[in-house]
Homo-oligomer: A and B are copies of this chain.
């Protein structure tokens, strides 16, 4: 781990995000600007590092850029600190992530996000829809800002990758919402959904990061697949923690995913198995006082073991692709550190 490089990157990311969002800091839209700075965790009740989130996506983008940097192919663009030129792309991805969170919270009727009231609760759903839209527009402006440092062809490619993955994000969101009404879900329904909801944006990080590092095509593809499988592994782990996680560590009440009726991997495994858990699940919402019994039943039916096996398999794939990509230098070490942190987390 190289805390200094990561720290420099995180500071640059925050600065760039603020610069991008300042586009709304104009006479008649001060309150609009405030809504965005509140959501980003910089202002209002509870502002601070807990409210901003970990900025994993933009960090992953910059680490990829720095660890894949190919001086020979860069045509003299950039140098040791080449990742500084990629900051607007890193910000773009974080803005896309945040646009999706703002709209998600309306769609899921969620009142809290990182312990703070959500935008729609504070300012109403119509304003919150517009806040999400603005974050999306600014994300697109941020990716186009690459033109300051990169050839236009590279900018068009980066914007294309970003939007392709955004479309996958909306497809994943559609699947997730449409599953709520379906009674016939099985394991085949899981991977395309999280491929869109979680992996698309993580693969955009590593794909765009490597593009901006002037990586060759083979490395570009290896980085892209690393991000994709990192996303799948991350999400499966999240699903496991959402049912069997230690609530003192995760900060969420245990088995909250069961109470919320989330179609996670262990649940879909058991639905396909169609035994005791499936029967109970289809009867209606799980109550808080049933959690111990229902999660034990789920484990008994093999859902936990299956999910853990899947998480391991995806982790292995992710690390294989990372090895293929061959990240180098200080950033390469930091990259491995971040990947291990994400893949072996307990929270």
Spell out A's residues near B (CB within 8 Å): 23-24, 26, 28-29, 31-32, 103, 106-108, 125-127, 129-130, 132-134, 136-138, 140-141, 144, 147, 151-153, 155-156, 159-160, 163-164, 166-167, 170-171, 173-175, 177-178, 192
Inter-chain contact B136/A107, CB cutoff 8 Å? no
- Which B residues are CB-close (under 8 A) to A192? 28
A-B pairs with beta carbons under 8 Å apart, 24 shown: A26-B171, A29-B171, A29-B174, A29-B175, A31-B178, A32-B174, A32-B178, A103-B129, A103-B130, A106-B126, A107-B126, A126-B177, A129-B129, A130-B170, A130-B177, A133-B170, A133-B173, A134-B174, A137-B167, A140-B159, A141-B163, A144-B159, A152-B153, A156-B156
Q: Supply 6 further A-B pairs (C-beta < 8 A) apart from A125-B125, A129-B129.
A: A24-B171, A126-B177, A129-B132, A133-B170, A140-B159, A152-B153
Could you tell me the dominant secondary structure of chain A's interface residues? helix
Bound: A32/B178 CA distance, A:
9
Closest chain B residue to A108, Cβ basis: B126
Inter-chain contact B163/A103, CB cutoff 8 Å? no
Inter-chain contact A171/B138, CB cutoff 8 Å? no
Q: A126-B177, A151-B152, A174-B32 are in contact. Are A167 and B134 (CB under 8 A)?
A: yes
Bound: A106/B164 CA distance, A:
26
CB distance from A25 to the nearest CB of B (A): 11
Inter-chain contact A144/B160, CB cutoff 8 Å? yes
